[in-house]
């Protein structure tokens, strides 16, 4: 349990990446971890585009720096795009729920698995919420109508110091019934 909490405690959004390339194998491990995530009806409604070619990484970074946000991304060494795929739910579930009903949660689980797997391998990650989806889709040859679950920047952290976590007080967040 302490290893588990330690990993969760060390994971933080990295906004300063070192000038050091990320090994292909480490990115592949992140994808393996994502694919171990739970999903509604085990539908696994995800696919991933791992961006590791330096020129492509630079192009994606440009379109993830909207409105002057996320300038640090020019130092990102890789990106992982989490894409939403059609979910095939169990027939009984499909009768009462839309096929994509669980998908957003499933993609969230996969996204966090990537961040934790990155951390476990000494990498830093940052989930990016503001980006030009259409431009990035075009660069990566992703069909324009495809929904993005997340864009995750990855690289070695320039500063390994773990910041204090800013979170709502636990007693305001959970109650035990």
Ligand X SMILES: Cc1cc2nc3c(=O)[nH]c(=O)nc-3n(C[C@H](O)[C@H](O)[C@H](O)COP(=O)(O)O)c2cc1C
- Torsion angle, alpha carbons of 21, 23, 24, 26, to 10: -130
Cβ-based nearer residue to ligand X, 11 or 49: 11
Q: Which of 97, 127, 139, 140 binds ligand X (CB under 6 A)?
A: 127
Q: Which of 33, 40, 44, 70 binds ligand X (CB under 6 A)?
A: 70
Contact status: 75 vs ligand X (CB under 6 A): no
Cα–Cα nearest to 154, from 15, 2, 7: 15
Contact status: 130 vs ligand X (CB under 6 A): yes
Cβ-based nearer residue to ligand X, 89 or 128: 128
**Closest residue to ligand X using C-beta atoms:** 129
> What are phi and psi for residue 151, nearest 5 degrees?
-120, 125
Name the segment binding ligand X (CB under 6 A); options: 11-19, 46-54, 81-89, 132-140: 11-19
Query: What residues contact residue 154 under an 8 Å CB cut-off, 6+ apart?
Result: 22, 27, 30, 76, 77, 78, 79, 80, 118, 123, 124, 125
Contact status: 33 vs ligand X (CB under 6 A): no
Positions that interact with ligand X (CB under 6 A): 12-13, 15, 69-70, 126-130, 165
């Amino acid at each position: 349990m302490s290893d588990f909490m330690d990993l969760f405690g060390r994971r933080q959004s990295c906004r300063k990446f070192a000038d050091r390339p990320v090994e292909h194998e480490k990115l592949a491990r992140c994808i393996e971890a994502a694919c171990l995530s739970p999903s509604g009806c085990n539908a696994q409604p995800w696919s991933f585009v791992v961006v590791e070619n330096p020129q492509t990484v630079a192009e994606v970074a440009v379109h993830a720096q909207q409105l002057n946000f996320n300038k640090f991304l020019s130092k990102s060494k890789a990106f992982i795009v989490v894409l939403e795929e059609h979910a095939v739910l169990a027939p009984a579930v499909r009768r009462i729920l839309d096929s994509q009903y669980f998908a957003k949660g499933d993609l969230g689980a996969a996204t966090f698995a990537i961040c934790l797997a990155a951390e476990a391998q000494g990498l830093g990650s940052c989930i990016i919420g503001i980006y030009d989806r259409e431009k990035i889709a075009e660069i990566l040859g992703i069909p324009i109508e495809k929904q993005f679950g997340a864009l995750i920047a990855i690289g070695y952290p320039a500063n390994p110091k773990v910041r204090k976590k800013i979170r709502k007080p636990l007693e305001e967040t959970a109650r035990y019934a």
